[in-house]
Chains A and B, each alone.
Chain A
């Protein structure tokens, strides 16, 4: 398994990369919450939510093509939901766009709104993921109240994921090399079962070795406290700007 591109981009340098992970996590969450809480028939009002993330994407230097590719990869479920909504709500609604009005199937409006919300929230999540290393993100999550034991599992899982997946790939290749033609369903299931069991046992053995190595280096069972990062001026400004932008967009009815 090749090193993930998400990781490669997270190791880059930019003003956005340098921001505190807690601040970015809070901003992404607030942005998602503001967009998702828009009405279920809202379309035009969702478009402005795309602008700040796209501007931040430019600042971050993460290639737009990569972001688009990730969005397409995770989009099938959102498309399914939008399609289902379109299917089950035939009632007509009146849509207005400037001087034009049209009566359209309500489900189509709901579906389009679902897709736009998906776009905004996935963009925010991708910005967070491509500008923040997972270890720092896990630290931020534990700073915001996640149990430290769990935060430690997240970082360890991610560290060993590549090793274990590589081992799985080697096993699958070896099994394919030993199999001529296609095995029946029963034999296939049996092979999958014993492959999984041996991978499970080897993973446990690996975990035991990791335990011993960590104990030898003085690990006493307390997860390391995440470095007590201080918020810098840039962090505070960024968070304040994003929170007020989100609130301003969401509550635009009050001032428009």
Chain B
């Protein structure tokens, strides 16, 4: 998801540009040390691969498809610094050649997609599958899944924060955050499964390319997949109910603030409301009394738990019958 020029203010765009410049300079220095100097063209060619891979669509839900993003895969195979440079090259070409995201927003897009994505992926992967320790397939799957999910979510969650910090497009933060997080958890889950499948296929074809990750060849570990999908469903429900519950409160608070802006007709009540909102302008919609958003989220999560529980019970009842359709997906 590319950030746009027109909803950023200069200070925010400038700060993000400086952060991107600093971060990429550090990444370049580190990558230079990690990568053999003569292997420098590697990143560019792999960047071209990620670009091409983004053209492969896969089904997310019936009727919707997502595409591969690739930050997690690059981070696992090349390490975070080189992956950051590779993703940065992609973001720059997307901006200049395809006009995805603006020139002024380039810093924001580099921070979101070239820095946050690869480093979040790397941290998540290493937290679950530490280097140099052999891991079973299910653990490697979870590591790849969470790495991909973290890389997608990190980038997606920065967008609403940057928009809110700029204050040009005044969408209630909880609505924007919840919607972005909900949708991108779905995308991240698909990216996670795909990232593992690419890693597993690579381990089969070219194990020498995966110095860090032990052999993970083989099919999908079904139990881990089921667990990760359930986790993703929970997250989606939680995020989306947060978005839904934030909407009315947020609408009121923006209404108040816009009226308070209208200085021609001073309105003490609206002005007071505007000040109340302004005091915590970064999280305007959290100011509502009673924290109703919190309980709606809890209700949403409980609903999903209930549905999942019913589904699991149904599956167990079905599996009670002889021909268990479990084993055949394991062999490949």
State whether B89 touches A154 (Cβ < 8 A).
yes
Assembly CA distance A222 to B6 (angstroms): 38
Chain B residue nearest in CB terms to A167:
B52
Complex contacts, B24 vs chain A, CB 8 Å: 146-147, 150
State whether A156 touches B254 (Cβ < 8 A).
no
Q: Which of A25-33, A47-55, A227-235 sits within the interface?
A: A25-33
Most chain A beta carbons < 10 A, residue from B45, B68, B171: B45
B181 within 8 Å of A (CB atoms): no
Assembly CA distance A121 to B8 (angstroms): 12
A179 within 8 Å of B (CB atoms): no
* Interface of chain A residues 219 through 248 with chain B (CB within 8 A): 219-223
State whether A36 touches B10 (Cβ < 8 A).
yes
Nearest-neighbour CB distance to chain B for A170, whole angstroms, equals 11
State whether A193 touches B103 (Cβ < 8 A).
no
Chain B residue nearest in CB terms to A157:
B47
Complex contacts, A6 vs chain B, CB 8 Å: 97
Q: Contact flags (1/0) for B19-59 with A, using CB distance below 8 Å?
A: 00100110011011000011111111111110111011011
Assembly CA distance A30 to B268 (angstroms): 40
B156 within 8 Å of A (CB atoms): no
Query: Which among A91, A121, A185 is the interface contact of B102 at CB below 8 angstroms?
Result: A121
State whether B201 touches A77 (Cβ < 8 A).
no
State whether A221 touches B37 (Cβ < 8 A).
yes
Nearest-neighbour CB distance to chain A for B217, whole angstroms, equals 11
B259 within 8 Å of A (CB atoms): yes
Assembly CA distance A131 to B331 (angstroms): 54
Taking A81-B6, A89-B254, A121-B102 as contacts, is the C-beta distance between A188 and B58 under 8 angstroms? yes
A211 within 8 Å of B (CB atoms): yes
Taking A154-B89, A157-B90 as contacts, is the C-beta distance between A196 and B68 under 8 angstroms? yes
A176 within 8 Å of B (CB atoms): no
State whether B59 touches A185 (Cβ < 8 A).
yes
State whether A118 touches B5 (Cβ < 8 A).
yes
Main secondary structure of the interface of B (DSSP, over half): helix
State whether B93 touches A161 (Cβ < 8 A).
yes
Nearest-neighbour CB distance to chain B for A66, whole angstroms, equals 12
B136 within 8 Å of A (CB atoms): no
Nearest-neighbour CB distance to chain A for B281, whole angstroms, equals 14
State whether A204 touches B206 (Cβ < 8 A).
yes
Query: Which among B32, B86, B103, B197 is the interface contact of A128 at CB below 8 angstroms?
Result: B103
Size range of the chain A interface in the assembly: 35 or more
Assembly CA distance A32 to B102 (angstroms): 9
* Interface of chain A residues 103 through 145 with chain B (CB within 8 A): 106, 110, 114-115, 117-118, 121-122, 124-126, 128-129, 134, 137-138, 141, 145
Assembly CA distance A208 to B43 (angstroms): 11
Nearest-neighbour CB distance to chain A for B99, whole angstroms, equals 5
Query: Which among B44, B102, B167 is the interface contact of A152 at CB below 8 angstroms?
Result: B44
Taking A91-B255, A150-B24, A165-B51 as contacts, is the C-beta distance between A118 and B6 under 8 angstroms? yes
* Interface of chain B residues 152 through 197 with chain A (CB within 8 A): 167-172, 175, 190, 193-194, 197
State whether A189 touches B56 (Cβ < 8 A).
no
A95 within 8 Å of B (CB atoms): no
B123 within 8 Å of A (CB atoms): no
B118 within 8 Å of A (CB atoms): no
Chain A residue nearest in CB terms to B59:
A185
Query: Which among A117, A147, A165, A196 is the interface contact of B28 at CB below 8 angstroms?
Result: A147
Assembly CA distance A31 to B264 (angstroms): 32
Assembly CA distance A172 to B329 (angstroms): 24
Assembly CA distance A203 to B46 (angstroms): 6
State whether B194 touches A192 (Cβ < 8 A).
yes
State whether B41 touches A156 (Cβ < 8 A).
yes
Assembly CA distance A154 to B96 (angstroms): 11
Assembly CA distance A201 to B194 (angstroms): 15
B202 within 8 Å of A (CB atoms): yes
State whether A196 touches B170 (Cβ < 8 A).
no
State whether A85 touches B45 (Cβ < 8 A).
no
B71 within 8 Å of A (CB atoms): no
B73 within 8 Å of A (CB atoms): yes
A198 within 8 Å of B (CB atoms): yes
A-to-B contact residues, CB < 8 Å: 4, 6-7, 28-29, 32-33, 36-37, 40, 70, 73-74, 77-78, 81, 84-85, 88-94, 106, 110, 114-115, 117-118, 121-122, 124-126, 128-129, 134, 137-138, 141, 145-147, 149-150, 152-161, 163-165, 167-168, 172, 185-186, 188-190, 192-201, 203-204, 206-208, 210-211, 214-215, 219-223
Extra inter-chain contacts (4) besides given A33-B104, A90-B251, A134-B97, CB under 8 Å: A84-B171, A89-B258, A163-B48, A186-B329
Pick the 8 closest A-B CB pairs, nearest first.
A156-B44, A91-B258, A193-B197, A221-B37, A197-B201, A207-B45, A147-B28, A117-B6
> What are some 24 contacts across the A-B interface (CB < 8 A)?
A40-B168, A78-B4, A88-B175, A89-B170, A110-B169, A121-B5, A122-B99, A125-B99, A129-B97, A146-B21, A149-B31, A149-B32, A149-B85, A152-B40, A156-B48, A158-B93, A161-B48, A168-B53, A189-B197, A192-B197, A196-B68, A196-B194, A211-B41, A214-B41
